[in-house]
Amino acid sequence: MKKIAAVVSVIVLLSVTAVRADKAEDVKEMHEAYQQSMGAMKDDMHHGMMSDDPDVAFAAGMLPHHEGAVEMAKIQLKYGKDPEMLELARKIVAAQAAEITQMKKWLKAHPAQ
């Protein structure tokens, strides 16, 4: 009986360790995804805001900001667990898509000088 309990204890311990290792890898991947997303967004926003035309600077700076929000929402959808935050992420993807389209269309019609 003691041997069975010992074997069961080892199996449980190994299972918990494996779950923690998987979770740790997921957390690492999630952090890397957020870092990559934020780095690209920050650089693109800064570049866009450098236009001498204030309207172009606004749209060109906001565009990567909105695209970054969509990327972050997609990361949430991949790694998140909370139903409220998952729903918010879905809403962000949908809402930002329309604004991204509007800004791209406007920037195409109003190229920077």
88 vs 7, more confident: 88
Q: Which residues, including other chains, have CB under 8 Å from residue 62's CB and lie 6 or more apart?
A: 45, 48, 103
Whether 14 has a pLDDT exceeding 60, the answer reads no
Residue of 69, 64, 66, 35 whose CA lies nearest to 47 = 64
- Three-state SS at 111: coil
- Cα–Cα distance measured from residue 20 to residue 71, given in angstroms and rounded to the nearest whole number: 26
- pLDDT for the residue 23: 72
Per-residue pLDDT tens digits for 46-87: 888 889 999 999 999 999 999 999 999 999 999 999 999 999
Looking at residue 60, its pLDDT comes to 93
Q: Which pTM was predicted?
A: 0.70
Q: Which of 17-21, 66-70, 85-89, 92-96 has the lowest mean pLDDT?
A: 17-21
Q: Does residue 111 have a pLDDT over 50?
A: yes
| pLDDT number for residue 71 | 92
- In this predicted model, what pLDDT tens digit does every residue of 28-38 receive, in sequence order? 887 887 777 77
Query: Which of the 8 DSSP states describes residue 1?
Result: -
